[in-house]
Structure formats: structure tokens, C-alpha cells
Amino acid sequence: MDQHVLVVFPHPDDETFGCGGTLALFAKSGIPITYICGTLGQMGRNMGKPFFANRETLPKIREAELEKACKAIGIRHLIKLGLRDKTIEFEDPEPIVTRIEQILREVRPSLVLTHYPGYAVHPDHNALGGLTIRAVSRLSMQDRPTVYAHAFARNCQDVIGPPDIVNDISKAADVKYAAILAHRSQSQVMLPRDNMLQRESFWTYRCS
């Protein structure tokens, strides 16, 4: 199976804050990355500081920020599912799982990055992570990619143990920081802590 990374997250900026350094290192080494972004984050509370967005303009602003961040990281292929922010848990799951499965079969990634269901704080994170796992589980064992799951709930290590993947991203810190700044509506409110530019952690998820 050729090397190819598929990223599945629900919001613009999930790819950057959670794994921007890891993705930048993949891109720098020439590994292609496809990103499935579930929503445009249209129900987000952050509107810049001072405000420069409102509920009407936020979707377009966040879409442009997403595209700028992807360019900074080196993500060449962006797929937007067009789901409604903060509603993924209430959607009919079958069309979403089927669409992700279709992309998996087209892209044939060697690695999938998504949220760890139940341990990623936001309901959209948990829901889309779970749907991604279901899609991967539909593939035959020989066709299944490795899954790195991102978790950051306060109790996650108490329940699921320490992460088995801890990446030193210090050599990509400048790229991740540029991508964070690209998400201007969000990063003006929550600039990164130093450790966010040094390490990124994941759990290898065993699909049943």
C-alpha cells in the first residue's frame, strides 16, 4: 500500500491545533495528505479579537482560513463534507459513513488521523471520529489503514492509558504556528501553549 495520509476532523482548525506539526512533517517528507473536513465551524463562538466576524460571515471566513492553513501545512487535497456544525451526532450516520468509506477506497491511505471517539471533548469530535472508525472497519483487514486517534479529554490517559505515538514536532513548529495564525478568527482568542509546538500525541486505534 502506497503511503498516503487521510485526515478526518469536523472543524476548520482541528487539523492544525491537534496535529498540524505531524502533518507538516509528513508533507515535508513528500507524503500526500487528504483532509476530510466535516463542517465550516459556522456555529463557533470565537469571532476574532476584536470581533471581525459575525454569525452570517463566519462560515466564509473560516473556510478561507481553512484553505490558508492547509496551504501552510502542505495539505494538497481538501474535501468538505458540508455538514452542519454542532449537529453531527444527530445526523443520519449511514450517508456519512458511506461517504468516508468511498473516500477510503479511492485514496487507499496507509494512515488515518481522526478523533478518539468518546475522548475528544466536543460532541462533533466524538461523533465524526466514531463514524470514521466505522468506515475503516468496513474495509477488509488487508486494506485497513493504521488509525491514529487524537484524544484530549482530561481523563483520557486514566481510562485508555498513555499515548503510544508521541511525535517531536519541534522542527515543524514554525509551520504549525503559521497554520495557527491562518485560523485568525480562532487563534486570536486561543494562541498556542509552548508544548503545543513541541509534541503531538496519538493513540493507535484497533478497529474491530
Beta bridge mates, 78: 35
Task: Name the grid cell of 183.
Answer: 485560523
pLDDT given for residue 1 in this prediction: 47
Neighbours of 192 (CB within 10 A): 16
pLDDT given for residue 150 in this prediction: 98
**Alpha-carbon distances of 198 from 70, 143, 157, 173, rounded to whole Å:** 20, 32, 19, 7
pLDDT given for residue 191 in this prediction: 67
Spans of all domains in the chain: 5-204
HEC readout, 10-30: CCCCHHHHHHHHHHHHHHHCC
Q: Contacts by 154-162 with C-beta closer than 8 Å and gap 24+? A: 155/119, 156/116, 156/119, 159/119, 160/116, 160/119, 160/203, 161/203
Question: How would you label 49-62 residue by residue, b for 16+ Cβ within 10 Å and e otherwise?
Answer: eeeebeeeebbebb
> How do the pLDDT tens digits run along the chain, 208 residues long?
459 999 999 999 999 999 999 999 999 999 999 999 999 999 988 888 888 888 899 999 999 999 999 999 999 999 999 999 999 999 999 999 999 999 999 999 999 999 999 999 999 999 999 999 999 999 999 999 999 999 999 999 999 999 999 999 999 999 999 999 999 999 887 766 778 899 999 999 998 7
CATH 3.40.50.10320 fits 5-204, yes or no: yes
pLDDT given for residue 194 in this prediction: 74
pLDDT given for residue 188 in this prediction: 81
Q: Give the predicted TM-score (pTM) of the model.
A: 0.95
151 contacts 116 by C-beta, under 8 angstroms? yes
